[in-house]
Structure 1
Amino acid sequence: MRGLRAARHAEIVRVIGKGFCDPAFSVQRVAIATGLSPSYIQKILHQTGQSFTERVLELRLGKARRMLVNRSNDSLRIGEIALACGFNDISYFNRSFRRRFGAAPNECRGNAH
């Protein structure tokens, strides 16, 4: 991507990076923040190989993993970490985490698995 499309992509990614921890975060919120249509946002993101949903999930899982391996978060329950990362369904979080990292969240606790 070049020019205006690249600038729009960068803005979309920036807005996603700021809001992904909100469980109610949606492509509609990104559309409002950027002044672009939801379908155009999806189109730009698909050109980079990830849908909006995939990008948000990856960011949430990455944050959850960082929180789990960080010993300063040992006092937090796994459910609290999931909620802090934007998941409102703990079962979905556990399944997604295992699929992405090959281990359950509790297996990653306090180590760089």
Structure 2
Amino acid sequence: MQDLLWHGGRRARSAASDEAKWQPGPSVHDDLVERDVTADGPNRLWLADIEHRAPSRRGQAHLRAIKDVWSNRIVGYSIDSRMDSRLVVNAVRTAVAATQLTSPQDTRLEGTR
């Protein structure tokens, strides 16, 4: 049995093991502004992104997710039918509550849009 690899995806299967294993996908594009996306501890740098291509029966659903760079985990999110400031504020509130952040001035949040 040959090794199967999804080049655009994230999983690979081998003949030796039937378990799906994480494989990094190809780089979408170069980081031309050379941002520093490393953190020296938890809750030092959060990255935020928005997904608005999730159609539902009630219309479009917008998702704002916040990821902690150090732990590589989603620490907060918000889902709403409208893409406005409420979506961002709610995502930040869930992240602060979930991480029990006590000194928000030490956390840098970078996002899109």
More strand by share: 2
Give the helix-richer structure, 1 or 2.
1
TM category (shorter chain) comes to under 0.3
Higher relative contact order (CA 8 A, sep 6+): 1
